[in-house]
Amino acid sequence: MVRIGLISRISAASRRTVQAAGLAAGLLGGAGLAGCGLQKEIDVELPAYPAQLVVEAYLENGRVPRLTVTESVDYLAAPTPAVPTDVTATLTLPDGRREVLKFAPAFDERTGKAYTHVGLRPLVAQPGQTFDLELTDTKGRRVTGTATVPVLVPIDTVEWVFNDKPEAERKAYVLVRFQDPQTPADFYRMQIHRRRVNKEPEVDYVIEDRLNNGIEYTLGTGYDFRPNDTLVVSLYHLNRPYYDFLQSVQNARSANGNPFGQPSAIKSTVEGGLGVFTVLSYQRRQLIVK
């Protein structure tokens, strides 16, 4: 149960439950109530929320598979990840072999992320091949997912152009060009990091080729980079489920805390739980802006 003051600040979690009442009170009589210093409290019964398994798994060709399994918590609960220790993670390879990943929590310095399960050997992942993932635990929960390896779309060129301002104010924008294949429904993610990819990116675009199939694409930035900046440019070719997942995450972030925004659910790529299971196909270039 949550107690809420209608003319006080409503939390993002409770907003969705009392949005209509809160907005009506604010629009029709909020000014008068505030002027009188009055406050009305109501009790809102929050529904029970069963904990679900949450998975984050990104497979890569030539790398040992690693994934993270946690448990979902109530929106108003402390943001501390709950890590179940009884989950069995099984990866089915394209040739049908099943590999049980070992529960061995650790931190991956290359990606800057923690993981809970790790495989035995590097994967061989070729375009068009399909991998399956199954998670089970002692509570009877089961999560499944399927991911197909996208074709690699290479970066053609990376260019940068400086403005004509004085030396102390000089900055450059970056242009990334690549050729979209003739196949319909291709999806991409372009990221630019400073120095290392284990930090938040400076630039992060997610696009589709619905309106411009089979042409050369040019993605640009603002005047964001200074002379001698070291940049890492990554171009990912995505499958549709992963693209939808990324779009839903962006929409949910935009709606969170916005009293006029529509609530947005995360479109998981797995069934029986929450999260994402995909195979990454990307090309990466490192450069110094001079």
Residue ranges of the alpha helices (H) in the chain?
12-36, 240-255
pLDDT of amino acid 253: 80
pLDDT of amino acid 16: 40
Long-range contacts of 108-115 (CB under 8 A, 24+ apart): 108/66, 109/198, 110/197, 110/198, 111/197, 111/198, 112/198, 112/199, 113/56, 113/68, 113/198, 114/68, 115/66, 115/67, 115/68
Span 182-190, average pLDDT: 94
Query: pLDDT tens digits for 117-166?
Result: 999 999 999 999 999 999 999 999 999 999 999 999 999 999 999 999 99
Query: pLDDT tens digits for 40-95?
Result: 787 777 677 789 999 999 999 999 999 999 999 877 777 777 899 999 999 999 99
Cα–Cα nearest to 243, from 284, 189, 197: 189
Residue 106 has pLDDT above 90, yes or no: yes
Query: pLDDT tens digits for 189-210?
Result: 999 999 999 889 999 999 999 8
4 versus 101: which is more confidently predicted? Answer: 101
pLDDT of amino acid 110: 79
Query: pLDDT tens digits for 251-282?
Result: 888 777 666 666 678 899 999 999 999 999 99
pLDDT of amino acid 3: 35
Task: Give span(s): CATH 2.60.40.10, the chain.
Answer: 53-148
pLDDT of amino acid 10: 32
3-state secondary structure of 43: strand
- Cα 29–chain centre separation: 40
Token pair 């990116």 is found at 201
pLDDT of amino acid 111: 80
| Domain formed by 53-148, architecture | Sandwich (2.60)
* CATH T-level fold of 155-288: Immunoglobulin-like (2.60.40)
Partnered with residue 69 across adjacent β-strands are 55
